[in-house]
């Protein structure tokens, strides 16, 4: 049985995750991620990460690390996994997902206005992992 609205975490590049209640429709998910959706399951808990299917190809900004060598590009949504349906996150899943998303941090390309790399912490050049603002 499908829920009409679901409780999710919405994660935008460079920002803290937001808890939202959204319509449980393909269109609503596509609007949040900015295109066709792809679902992955990065953690053992029964949650889904819904991201833009072509985010990297389309040049969307890196958001969070995915594993040790990959990343999610653009905004993504974390929701519950109900088998064939997306479902609301439980309180426990919200807490665990927030912990994991914040632990993963985000990725930022640090550049000056002239387009040159800016080394803010003397250990970083190019793509850097930094805490959200």
- Greatest mean pLDDT range, 2-16, 26-40, 59-73: 26-40
Give percent of the chain above pLDDT 70.
73
| Residues in contact with 70: Cβ distance below 8 Å, sequence separation at least 6, in sequence order | none
- Whole-model pTM? 0.76
| Region 45-66 average pLDDT | 89
Q: How far apart are the first and last CA of the chain?
A: 39
Task: Determine the pLDDT at residue 11.
Answer: 92
| Region 18-39 average pLDDT | 95
120 or 45, which is more confident: 45
Cβ neighbour number for residue 60 with a 10 Å cutoff: 19
For residue 48, what are the CA distances in angstroms to 22, 43, 95, 103, 128?
15, 8, 15, 17, 26
């Amino acid at each position: 049985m499908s829920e009409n609205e679901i409780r999710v975490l919405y994660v935008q590049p460079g920002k803290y995750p937001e808890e939202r209640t959204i319509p449980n429709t393909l269109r609503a998910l596509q609007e949040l991620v900015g295109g066709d959706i792809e679902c992955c399951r990065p953690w053992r808990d029964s949650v889904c990460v819904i991201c833009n299917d072509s985010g990297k190809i389309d040049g969307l900004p890196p958001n969070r690390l995915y594993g040790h060598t990959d990343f999610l590009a653009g905004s993504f949504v974390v929701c519950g996994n109900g088998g064939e349906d997306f479902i609301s996150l439980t309180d426990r899943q919200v807490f665990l997902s927030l912990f994991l998303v914040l632990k993963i941090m985000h990725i930022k390309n640090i550049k000056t206005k002239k387009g040159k790399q800016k080394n803010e912490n003397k250990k970083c050049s190019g793509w850097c992992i930094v805490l959200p603002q």
